[in-house]
Amino acid sequence: MRHFIKMTAAAALAAGPAFAQEAELPRSMLWATYDVGSSGYAEASAIADAFGKEYGTRVRIMPSGTSIGRLLPLKTGRVQYGWLANELYFATEALFDFSAREWGPQDLRVVAGRPSTFGMAVAGDAGIEALSDIAGKRVPRIKANPSINIKVEALLAFGGLTWDDVEVVEVPSYGAALKALVDGQVDVAGSTPTASTLYEMESSSRGLDWAPMPKDNADGWEAIISVASFFAPATATQGAGITEEDPAQIFAVRYPMITVYADADADEIYNFTKALDETYDIYANATKATARWKLSEAGVTPADAPFHPGAIRYLEEIGVWTEKDAAWNEARLDRLNAVTEAWDAAVEAALDEGVSDKDWPAYWSEYSAEALN
């Protein structure tokens, strides 16, 4: 009998993953996402449903149309995971809203991030064939959402434009910007092609197009990089108003990125990453974008912040994480540490110089530019 038990145990070890224990998740979780109507909300909902079916985990989703509204609950511990866009990068660099003294560089980590694209969705009846044609048109600008606004600014730059060249329409959220396009209150809106609201636009009488960003337009891409260096040319073949026969030339980003703070428990993050992998077949076809949550695509660098060690452990186990990814991650950690050190030094210097809260963002901008050159 002892011999039989030893042989059975040895066979189980040799079998490896086939006998591996399935992921262990808490009974309930709370996630922060973009607002209802966004692709991030739809994808989080699909994965939450898969977690419920596979593990019995109850997931509540807290949607918000602002960067602060998604990150603050994560900072305070009210939610366990944030499904973020480029506000993740801004938070680690203490830029825009996160340059306020009560924020500063946030020690955030990525669990996984879906490859995505972003472009300028335009009303089919607005007479817009190129980004330069947006001059004088109605363009939504979202309050407290630098992640979307900087993308739109980059898109305008491709066409040789700035916010001063268009009619700015202030809106309270990303979802409101897309709804304004559907309702005819604006002529364009920066968006991911898979946002559910845009399918409504596609089937409306106005129709939906995408302002092209040809890869060979060197001046246009140079203008984009001058606004933000983490964008690159991409061709989208799926989404509202897009087919493989009629693709859209836009740019590549990661959205959403499942995010935690660096001190999140490594075993919990490991199990979450494993669950994301184990339930893939359940949610892969939930939307046109969820298939790209396969970890061979969503679990690799680069991203807007370093990856969490718990996620890396699982990614190494399944052979996704490479030496190239590890090198990138170390460099990104070094950058985050440098920003944090510069912030601490700037705070101390500002106290000596009596810099007010009102003047602090400008002071930090100048200080960091020199310290992090």
| 151, HSE (Cβ side, Cα atoms, 13 Å) | 27
For CATH 3.40.190.10, list the domain ranges present in the chain: 2-113+256-336, 117-253
Residue 212 preceded by cis peptide, ω within 30:
no
* Cα–Cα distance, 121 to 209 (Å, whole number): 6
The answer to whether 278 and 47 are in contact (CB under 8 A) is no
* Cα–Cα distance, 61 to 92 (Å, whole number): 24
pLDDT digits (tens, 9 = 90+) for 297-333: 999 999 999 999 999 999 999 999 999 999 999 999 9
Which pLDDT score is estimated for 90? 94
Nearest Cα to 162, choosing from 214, 226, 119? 226
Residues of the chain short of pLDDT 70, as ranges, are 1-20
Alpha-helical (H) ranges within the chain are: 2-15, 39-55, 67-76, 87-93, 146-158, 174-182, 196-202, 218-227, 266-278, 280-283, 295-298, 309-317, 323-353, 360-371
* Cα–Cα distance, 303 to 335 (Å, whole number): 13
* Rounded (5°) CA angle 297-301-303: 105
For residue 315, the one-letter residue type is L
CATH of 117-253, one of 3.40.366.10, 3.20.20.70, 3.40.50.20, 3.40.190.10: 3.40.190.10
268: its two tokens:
């919990």
For residue 219, the one-letter residue type is D
* Rounded (5°) CA angle 32-34-35: 110
* Cα–Cα distance, 31 to 345 (Å, whole number): 34
Question: What secondary structure letter does DSSP report for 23?
Answer: P
* Cα–Cα distance, 283 to 43 (Å, whole number): 8
Nearest Cα to 181, choosing from 234, 255, 125? 125
Radius of gyration (C-alpha) of the chain in whole angstroms: 22
The answer to whether 72 and 108 are in contact (CB under 8 A) is no
Beta bridge partners of 32: 62, 82
For residue 62, the one-letter residue type is M
33: its two tokens:
């996402």
The answer to whether 115 and 295 are in contact (CB under 8 A) is no
CA distances in angstroms from 225 to 10, 123, 157, 229, 248, listed in the order given: 55, 26, 9, 5, 20
The answer to whether 239 and 194 are in contact (CB under 8 A) is yes
Which pLDDT score is estimated for 56? 97
* Cα–Cα distance, 175 to 255 (Å, whole number): 15
* Assigned architecture for domain 2-113+256-336: 3-Layer(aba) Sandwich (3.40)
pLDDT digits (tens, 9 = 90+) for 71-104: 999 999 999 999 999 999 999 999 998 999 999 9
DSSP calls for 179-207: HHHHTTS-SEEEE-TT-HHHHHHHTSSS-
Which pLDDT score is estimated for 317? 98
* Cα–Cα distance, 303 to 355 (Å, whole number): 34
Which pLDDT score is estimated for 8? 44
Beta bridge partners of 252: 117, 232
